[in-house]
Structure 1
């Protein structure tokens, strides 16, 4: 199966079968993965990796696409899928946020195997004279209605600068595209997004121009404030995207998308073999898409990431000499946070047996913040 066929989006379920080649890793004969919809970057990368596994290990992979976070996670939680290629919903699921604040959900016991770094920052109209995050105070910042994955990152970036959504003029737009276009249209001064949105290239060529707001890597207090909102980010100097180049880089943050996720009770040896296969077959898929090269294991297999790493993944990284004491401390702290939230959720459900819907979500957010503050 060629990379061109993988990108067509004509098939909703992909089976990958190739004759094997010599390899150290040992994978199951068949696996089922969930991913974003056909045509998404997450699905394209899952398909390319499945293609590589087919060629290297003679493994048959079924990819089950879904357009919602629940649709991607439910098969994993029910045991109908072995792994899921997720984004920020993996963090939401372990925190019991948004879709997962319903009584039947709450914090889920998920583990990461690896996740590709993807950059995210604050593009602004150059004529808005925004150079630092503090300069966003009082400015029009475009948000996307019903898109918590984007909006929580924007809130975290504001927290880095010592601000909240109340300190800016948060303008809500109905779609991601509308929010991105709002800068060139003069309806907003800044937004939060990845670097390659087509509307940003339009902004770069417009009379307003583009400037990426600096997120300094050495501001320890800023990173601490950001990680209180979501402990999933790390510094990154980006050179690819609108208004960016090797000669004109920008300091921003990296998060992980897609993330290969499994359940905490997944067999340790199987996870160990899977991450080994991901590493060993890298040269077979590294050129499949523009960003997939960032799956190199030294980048994808280490924290920070949205959820704790699985012991099988940690063991592999330790044996590769790519896991240090600071990484272990991060993983231990993330496990402690998840365990504390799971216990708090169970207690809340017992205390508030009749609470549901928005009322339960609001009460849970109060309890969640209390637990986090006490860690």
Structure 2
């Protein structure tokens, strides 16, 4: 397994990150795997050399963090492993987060967001669920419009100085917002973000306009979520995925259906499929290889089967020529901003 530094930090992470959202309880999402089903998948990830695990407090109402900590204690040495988790959304089984989620009028106060109170409470709860003394990478899941950036950055800095967190990261937002928060950290001597977990894949490349150049210029690690466009790039999705016969994930994943099911998106998949067949690899392997070629630190891979991890790791050995990259990118058409609005 290849490793690399997380941005400009000295932290070493595997070039593939295992996304832990898939593991927890199906009471949260019908496609989520239980502990028993997830164990062999996570074990295989560790056997492949993956040392980077990404979860969030809201996944499965906290159960994903519980399983993440349990599996790491079972399969790994804590000192070698990088645990990443996130804060922003409320932690309950009934809540569906994401860009389409609207604030519920009956939601209890201070149970979500990024206020100082919320961050201090949430980090302690995450530590308890993970069963660890510290979190390697603590990320804001989204930007809280109701809390000042100064308050957010100071609170994050304080949890680092308290020894509860080693590094901090951010997720999908506008580039100007990210730049402003980094500037606040610089001016006030706070801990700056080491990573950006953004929405980036062959079917959604709007991040190439502002966020990715900014991160490259500032030495911020890119750890994109949804590298396979929630499975869309695997090439097995159809416009009728809500119908009988589709997988449970395809039938119930309304986010994917809202994000990627345009005609031009299917053309991207056709180009990917043709190129993958020509190179003798899977669509997934080639989609990951394209991301690695674009300079990301580690794509966050969700896996429900061990072979899916093998496909991700195989991408490390795939070389793409400039002509092959151009062929993969040619069908892309601009999208509206998706993932943080």
TM-score (norm 2): 0.29
TM-score (norm 1): 0.27
- Structure with larger Rg: 1
Higher strand fraction (1 or 2): 1
